[in-house]
Amino acid sequence: MLRSVLKKVFVQIVEASWCFPTGIKRVQDLCKVLHLPAVFEDTALSYFQRAIEHPSFHLVSLEKKEILVGCCVFVTCRQHNWPLTMGTICSLLYADKELFASVYLSVLKELELDVPALSLTDLVKTHLNSFKLFQSSASIPAKLAEDKEKMVARTIQIVELASETWLVTGRHPIPIITAAAYLAWQSLQPVGRLTCTFPRFCKLAGTDLPPPAHLRLKELNEVLLRMASQLAWLRVLNLDKKTVAKHIGDLLQHRHLLLKSSFSSGDMEDPSPTAVDNGSERSLQVAGCSAQAEGCHAGGKQKHGRGQRPLLPPCLINPRKRLRTAALSPSEQAITGDEAISDSEIEQYLRSQEEVQKLSRAQAWH
């Protein structure tokens, strides 16, 4: 018991010794590592001074005080439209991402700061800056190295395509950017790269493979295959998710037209009951036959109806399954809530002597 008390007192002494000058030095060091302009450093220092003097951050732990430094620098970069991700700050501070996010939200709330959202284009450039594929070395052969400007431009195009097809909405952007970078890298020099797996690509680039990135890659491939089905010279090749990357350049060049043609068949609204009542059943049958013929012609080996899926967010196309509630037993179904409550049942809910006395007095009044 005494040991735990002494340990707690020691921790409080250590955290109290982490004073304002130490935090100032941390902010300055972090700005130097990130090569930020001098005006950024001044703004971050002013935010840190306001935060450390705020009552909400007086008694926080030493770990949160270290994270507070990163939050002030991160807010400054975002306000000046400087491309910087939360993951970069967390890696520099060896901080937990969830804890950093909670402290970051507290800083925004307590200091009443307004932070603009980071655009996808800037985020792509920032994320790809950490890749190690832009110069050949002992670990990266020359055929796997790629020009940085070409890869950034192609990745931005694929991310824009993902945004136009609802793949970005409500999702964390880093897995989508990582999947788009992989496809862009493959499409620039398909020979020798199509056999490279997604995990091996991330290992070569020196970046992490986020868990949802495989799903984002699958969704991007589905969109590309659907667009490829609209081009006659690609339709005869029977492309799959492993070979469609070779033709990404052609697909991106005509992406607006291909998106319109590949998703337009799903934009037709279902006929209303009134139209059916007015004798339009024959026209619906004719439309169904023509749609079936068109689907067989354009889809090749694809199943009928796949090309008619509308352009909607994935959460609407593949909604989460709701948990089924267990069926009620006959005895439970018979309970309506209007049953009489016996005195013995009331007494079993009485717990204190005061409640017993109040009930006795209430019964005496009756």
Q: Provide DSSP, 80-131.
A: TT----HHHHHHHHT--HHHHHHHHHHHHHHHT---PPPPHHHHHHHHHHT-
Using one digit for the tens of pLDDT, what is the confidence trace for 304-342?
344 456 677 777 777 777 666 677 777 777 777 777 777
Alpha-carbon span 362 to 52, nearest angstrom: 57
- Check residue 18 and give its pLDDT: 55
Alpha-carbon span 168 to 177, nearest angstrom: 10
pLDDT above 80: residue 164: yes
- Check residue 309 and give its pLDDT: 63
Helix (H) or strand (E) holding 234: helix 232-235
CB atoms within 10 A of CB 154: 22
Can you tell me whether residue 151 is helix, strand or coil?
A: helix
Whether residue 152 contacts residue 125, with contact meaning beta carbons closer than 8 Å, is answered with yes
pLDDT above 50: residue 86: yes
Q: In which region does residue 340 sit, left (phi positive, over 0), alpha (psi from -120 to 50) or beta (all else)?
A: beta
pLDDT band, very low/low/confident/very high, at 179 (cuts 50, 70, 90): very high
The sign of the CA dihedral 33, 37, 38, 42 is negative
Residue of higher predicted confidence among 263 and 292: 263
pLDDT band, very low/low/confident/very high, at 116 (cuts 50, 70, 90): confident
- Check residue 260 and give its pLDDT: 82
pLDDT band, very low/low/confident/very high, at 85 (cuts 50, 70, 90): confident
Class of residue 308 by CB neighbours under 10 A (exposed 0-12, middle 13-18, buried 19+): middle
pLDDT band, very low/low/confident/very high, at 275 (cuts 50, 70, 90): very low
pLDDT above 60: residue 14: no
Alpha-carbon span 287 to 301, nearest angstrom: 21
Q: What are phi and psi of 136, to 5 degrees?
A: -70, 145
Residue of higher predicted confidence among 49 and 139: 49
Residue of higher predicted confidence among 281 and 140: 140
Whether residue 158 contacts residue 199, with contact meaning beta carbons closer than 8 Å, is answered with no
pLDDT above 50: residue 291: no
- Check residue 362 and give its pLDDT: 83
DSSP state of 192: T
* This prediction's pTM: 0.58
Identify the residue whose tokens are 């959460």: 315
Residue 9's alpha-carbon distances to 12, 18, 56, 65, in angstroms, are 5, 15, 21, 18
Class of residue 195 by CB neighbours under 10 A (exposed 0-12, middle 13-18, buried 19+): exposed
**To 10 degrees, the CA torsion angle through 253, 225, 145, 32?**
80
Residue 110's alpha-carbon distances to 75, 86, 103, 104, in angstroms, are 13, 19, 10, 10
Can you tell me whether residue 197 is helix, strand or coil?
A: coil
As a whole number, mean pLDDT of residues 31-51 equals: 90
- Check residue 352 and give its pLDDT: 75
Angle at 198 between CA 194 and CA 201, to 5 degrees: 85
pLDDT above 60: residue 17: no
- Check residue 61 and give its pLDDT: 83
Alpha-carbon span 318 to 315, nearest angstrom: 5
> Would you list the DSSP string of 243-305?
TGGGGHHHHHHTHHHHHHHHHGGG-PPPPPHHHHHTT-HHHHHHHHHHHHHHHHHHHTTSPTT
- Check residue 92 and give its pLDDT: 87
Identify the residue whose tokens are 């040991």: 3
